[in-house]
Amino acid sequence: MSIASVVARLFDDQLPFRVEAFDGSTVEPSILSPANELTLKILNPAALVRVLRRPGELGLARAFVAGDLVLDGDLDALFSLDVPSLSHLFTPSALGPLLREMGASALRPLAPPRIEARQRGALHSRGRDRDAISHHYDVSNRFYELVLGPSMTYSCAVFAHDDDTLEIAQRRKVDLTCRKLQLQPGMRLLDVGCGWGSMAIHAAANFGASVVGITLSTEQRTYATERAAAMGVADLCEFRLQDYRDVRDGPFDAISSIGMSEHVGRRSLAPYAQQMFDLLAPGGRFLNHAIGRPVSIEEDPRPSRFSEGWRQTQIAWGLRGPSRVGSPFIDRYVFPDGELHDVGTMVSLFQAHGFEVRHLESLREHYARTLRYWVDNLVKRFDEAVEDVGPERARVWRLYMSGSAVNFEHHHLEIHQVLNVKPQHGRSGFAWRPSFEPTF
């Protein structure tokens, strides 16, 4: 039996895509599917070895990252598939032909791809969090420039017009954030998870704020510091290599946390909220911008038209736990230890720690469009990305960003800005009908 035909049998002969295998065998799709134009290429026996030794998504992820199997075609179609259980591999009818084809090599151990994260220490301890951040961000500033573009902003943009460039939309996002925080000249802003400095520099240059930006990434801190100097706002921006739990020089008039709380574990959310409250001056504003997820039917028994779609996404991405960001692929190669929380949990948490939640905005469609820009940037300059960070990481990013775009488009992922106020004498100081619209 050929290798390609064994794969077809895993789908009970309901194969949605083309298969090409290293033994020269091919199998065409046998059912009509959006994935009909997709081709799975099994380039060598190592792909099968990895799957046999770690049946399930981790084995497939390792084979993909290592380049032992390749997906040709529009990756969007991949995320609409119902992937069969790989237990099919261990039936006599499937395993026998594989072992005869591959011999003893089928069971030899293979080292995982070199970029696979191996976390050590207590979950969400300072040291482990630092290692997780370093895995994702201390890669190459040049690589992030290729993907993110000149704005160097690694969170969703805000689009107002069909012809908006990514750079205009990213500037609108940080401007919107500054307006929600009601920044004024001389105010102290703490930017938690400051990235490459886009929010801090915009707040300093356009609102006159004095900004402390904190990150656990040495690459980001170096880049942000140099960028602030080039923009002429070095006197207003201080970038620190510091854990948010170790900030002691409050109070701040405002706090922004953009794309950072996804790295805060569920058991650390309460201390996180308390730390933000303690660091904020009375009357100050705290904006939390974070990816979230709809509540699954297992967690919330109320009927929902999204329940079945969310269940399928959980299966596809391995999201069966209460809040982990994703599958073994995501956890080992993208966001080690990342966790997502539904917006209701976040709002309740902030209120329980003394904040008054005054405004909530979903930017889900904006993130889907942002990711499409990033994927396009990577595809157009893929060879440069490979030269800079290697083929393994470039492959990971293309798959991860394509999948994320699909999940935002299908409402399997969400993104919200939650604006909180620390009340002063029982009042929030909010206008009756606040407007946060940017001026461009």
List, for residues 122-152, the tens digit of each pLDDT value: 999 999 999 999 999 999 999 999 999 999 9
- Give the model's pLDDT for residue 255: 98
403-432 confidence digits (pLDDT tens): 999 999 999 999 999 999 999 987 777 776
CA distance 269 to 262: 10
Instruction: For the chain, give the percent of residues with pLDDT over 70.
Output: 86
β pairing state of 356-362 and 414-421: antiparallel
Q: Per-residue pLDDT averaged across 289-314, rounded?
A: 56
Q: Is the pLDDT of residue 303 over 50?
A: no
Classify 429 in phi/psi space as left (phi over 0), alpha (psi -120 to 50) or beta.
left
What pLDDT is stored for residue 94 in this prediction? 63
The residue among 22 and 56 whose pLDDT is bigger is: 22
Q: What are phi and psi of 211, to 5 degrees?
A: -115, 135
SS3 98: helix
**pLDDT confidence bin for 314, thresholds 50/70/90:** very low
Burial of 123 (0-12, 13-18, 19+ CB in 10 A): middle
H helix or E strand, kind and range, residue 241: strand 237-241
For range 104-111, the mean pLDDT: 76
Stretch 319-333: mean pLDDT: 65
Give yes or no for a contact between 290 and 416, defined as CB atoms under 8 angstroms apart: yes
Average pLDDT of the chain to the nearest whole number? 88
- What is the pLDDT at residue 320? 35
At residue 361, the 3 state secondary structure works out as strand
Other Cβ atoms less than 10 A from the Cβ of 162: the count is: 5
pLDDT tier at 5, thresholds 50, 70, 90: confident
- Asked whether the predicted pLDDT for residue 315 surpasses 50, the reply is no
**Residues 323-333: what's their mean pLDDT?**
75
Going along 146-215, which residue ranges are E strands?
188-192, 210-215
Least reliable range by pLDDT among 179-183, 187-191, 319-323, 384-388:
319-323
- Give the model confidence (pLDDT) of 172-222 as tens digits: 999 999 999 999 999 999 999 999 999 999 999 999 999 999 999 999 999
Distance from the first to the final alpha carbon of the chain: 63
State the Cα torsion 288-289-293-299 to the nearest 10°.
0
Q: What is the C-alpha to C-alpha distance for residues 264 and 337, in angstroms, rounded to an integer?
A: 9
433: exposed, middle or buried (Cβ count in 10 Å: 0-12, 13-18, 19+): exposed
Instruction: Please give the residue that has the higher pLDDT: either 57 or 272.
Output: 272
Q: How far apart are CA 419 and CA 421, in angstroms?
A: 7
Mean pLDDT over 86-99 rounds to 64
Cα distance between residue 94 and residue 8, in whole Å: 10
Lowest mean pLDDT, pick from 1-5, 44-48, 208-212, 404-408: 1-5
Is the CB of residue 111 less than 8 Å from the CB of residue 49? Answer: no
Question: Strand, coil or helix: what is 416?
Answer: strand
Q: What pLDDT is stored for residue 48 in this prediction?
A: 86
Is the per-residue pLDDT at 110 higher than 80? yes
- The predicted structure's pLDDT at residue 323: 44
In this model, does residue 301 exceed pLDDT 70? no
pLDDT of residue 394: 96
Looking at residue 296, what is its pLDDT?
A: 62
- Between strands 280-292 and 414-421, the pairing is antiparallel
pLDDT value, residue 235: 98
- Classified as helix, coil or strand, 321 is coil
Q: Enter the tokens of residue 231.
A: 């923009």
Amino acid at position 202, single letter: H
Residue 95 has pLDDT above 50, yes or no: yes
Cβ contact 255:284 at 8 Å: yes
- Per-residue confidence (pLDDT) for residue 430, from 0 to 100: 76
Share of residues in the chain with pLDDT > 90 (%): 71
Residue 316, pLDDT score: 39
Domains of the chain: 3-104 (no CATH), 126-421 (3.40.50.150)
What is the spatial distance between Cα 177 and Cα 173, in angstroms, rounded to a whole number?
6
CB 255 within 8 A of CB 178: no
* Statement: residue 304 has pLDDT above 50: no
Dihedrals φ, ψ of 123, to 5°? -60, 130
Using the structure block, give the residue that is written with the tokens 């942002």: 370
